[in-house]
């Protein structure tokens, strides 16, 4: 089962309450989708262009970005190339933080 990531503790409480109500049949699946969209953190799909744009906007080399995301240089190079590999898991989450708040958020 995939771990749910909430936008905040308040959203977590609201979503868990709605989930319980849905399990009891007191709210429908359509309403539950609303709570999913409102409360759950979403990780966008990172295309090669988007990865490169973020890296260049932050004035990072591929090596620096790899170090910030705890992946190899080769991995960052493959993300920026036109191939089917995209950031996922913790690397995608860290990339989302960099995109939203800047690379200083993950820089040691």
What's the average pLDDT block by block, 10 residues per block, for the chain (108 residues)?
Answer: 72 92 93 90 87 96 95 95 84 89 82
* Ranges of each domain in the chain: 9-39, 48-105
39: left (phi over 0), alpha (psi -120 to 50) or beta: alpha
Q: What are phi and psi of 40, to 5 degrees?
A: -90, 140
Determine if the pTM surpasses 0.75: no
Please check whether residue 55 is in contact with residue 95, taking contact to mean a CB–CB distance below 8 angstroms: no
- Report the alpha-carbon distance of residue 34 to residue 50 in Å, rounded: 28
Q: What is the pLDDT of residue 3?
A: 58
Q: What is the pLDDT of residue 108?
A: 65
Top CATH class of 48-105 equals mainly alpha
């Amino acid at each position: 089962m995939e771990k749910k990531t909430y936008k905040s503790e308040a959203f977590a409480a609201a979503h868990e309450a709605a989930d319980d109500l849905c399990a009891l049949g007191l709210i429908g699946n359509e309403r539950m989708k609303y709570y999913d969209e409102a409360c759950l953190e979403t990780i966008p799909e990172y295309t090669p262009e988007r990865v490169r744009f973020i890296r260049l906007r932050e004035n990072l080399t591929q090596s620096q970005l790899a170090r910030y995301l705890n992946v190899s240089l080769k991995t960052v190079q493959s993300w920026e190339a036109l191939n089917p590999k995209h950031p996922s898991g913790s690397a995608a989450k860290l990339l989302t933080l960099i995109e939203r708040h800047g690379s200083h958020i993950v820089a040691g």
